[in-house]
Amino acid sequence: MKTIKLGQKTIGDGHPTFLIAEMAWSHDGSVEKAKKIIDAAADAGADAICFHITSMEDYMIPQYGSGKGRVSAGKETMPIYEYLNSINLDGKAWKKLFPYAWRRGLLICTMCNDLPSVALASRLGADAYVVSPASLCEEELVKEVAGKRKPVFLRIGGALIEEVERAISWIRKRGNEDIVLIHGFQSYPTKLEDMHLRFIQTLKEKFSLPVGFADHTDGGSELALVVPLAALPFGANAIEKHLTHDRSLKGEDFESALNPEDFKRFVHNLREIEKAFGSPEIRSLSQEELNYRQVARKRAVANQDIKKGEKITREMIAFKRSDEGIFPDESGRLIGRVAIKDIKKNEPLTWNKVA
């Protein structure tokens, strides 16, 4: 399985889960709110933050749809182009936010929704690029992103396998092999039955690439802290989780986003659970396991009073939990030996009591 280097981090099997805080549009057009989200991501210990960079006139036509099902609840009253354009951050804002995120120790993954945004992200020095499902079949954009020679997170929600294969081939044609597939999609929020976490294993087996999971569980549900963790035993190498500054304000992309305190708890739980995964390899027992072995296993004790000089028979031996005594698998060597002292019932049988 391939691994990907991103800054000082490695993404792939055998390495800590790469955790991306997904800001998306939850900044609501405010640099100060964006900074709060960056601070929350950094304070929680995320590895990276994902910025959505968009030139609206290059991304969407003004007449596009009603917005229903495509923006956060309550925003359908405005044409989607007008609404998103009103909260879109411009190049000046991103020039402030990139260095701010770096100063907070975060890597920056940029989802560029159009070619001018790819150029802007490149000028600003993005650490990695995210290809959105909207752009997955856009050869020019995918190849332009791949040509930046930075890791590419390929979001494949709603994509057919042949479309994924084609996008991977476009990236590789530009000489870029650093690809991470991201399973999962946003349906404000996504239903549990649409998560299909087991598919992560299928993707890994088919493509031999790191695979991540973009979680879009209802951010107000207790399961929002659980479902992405459930992706880990299915092999997820990266987790992308939405983060907002204040869910109660119901800003853009709030549905599947966590508040800062919940996001911090989520990251803590993820890192604690990782400790429990351990290694799949056959290995020597740890000191704790050796201690447990000594305490937990039954030992040979006298099943009756045994007089000095008596030969030990099988009937004289019982196996019970005891602090001392010979382990059962060695007890056969006791039979036929002679007690060199009186041994009381339930007294541990040890080598220094027989000859």
Query: What is the pLDDT tens value at each position of the chain, 355 positions in all?
Result: 899 999 999 999 999 999 999 999 999 999 999 999 999 999 999 999 999 999 999 999 999 886 555 677 777 778 889 999 999 999 999 999 999 999 999 999 999 999 999 999 999 999 999 999 999 999 999 999 999 999 999 999 999 999 999 999 999 999 999 999 999 998 889 999 999 999 999 999 999 999 999 999 999 999 999 999 999 999 999 999 999 999 999 999 999 999 999 999 999 999 999 999 888 889 899 999 999 999 999 999 999 999 999 999 999 999 999 999 999 999 999 999 999 999 999 999 999 999 9
Q: Whole-angstrom Cα distance, residue 339 to residue 352? A: 9
Same domain, 195 and 309: no
How many CA atoms within 13 Å lie on the side-chain side of 297? 15
- What pLDDT score was predicted for residue 278? 85
Tokens at 116, concatenated: 């001018």
Residue 282 lies in a domain: no
Same domain, 132 and 48: yes
**CA-based nearest residue to 147, from 165, 123, 125, 122:** 122
**CATH value at residue 114:** 3.20.20.70
Residue 128 lies in a domain: yes
Q: Within a 10 A sphere around the Cβ of 245, how many other Cβ atoms?
A: 24
Same domain, 294 and 180: no
- What pLDDT score was predicted for residue 66? 61
Same domain, 231 and 341: no
Same domain, 341 and 200: no
- What pLDDT score was predicted for residue 206? 97
Same domain, 51 and 161: yes
Last residue of a domain, one of 277, 298, 328: 277
Number of domains in the chain: 2
Last residue of a domain, one of 256, 277, 298: 277
Same domain, 65 and 133: yes
- What pLDDT score was predicted for residue 134? 92
Q: Whole-angstrom Cα distance, residue 286 to residue 126? A: 43
Same domain, 69 and 197: yes
- Contact present, 127 and 107 (Cβ < 8 Å): yes
Q: Within a 10 A sphere around the Cβ of 62, how many other Cβ atoms?
A: 11
Instruction: Give the residue numbers spanning the domain of 298.
Output: 287-353
Same domain, 180 and 227: yes
- What pLDDT score was predicted for residue 78? 80
Same domain, 225 and 307: no
Residue count of the chain: 355
**CA-based nearest residue to 141, from 128, 132, 153, 151:** 132
- What pLDDT score was predicted for residue 315? 96
Q: Whole-angstrom Cα distance, residue 94 to residue 124? A: 8
Last residue of a domain, one of 277, 312, 342: 277
Same domain, 251 and 292: no
Q: Whole-angstrom Cα distance, residue 148 to residue 158? A: 25
- Residue corresponding to tokens 């041994």: 343
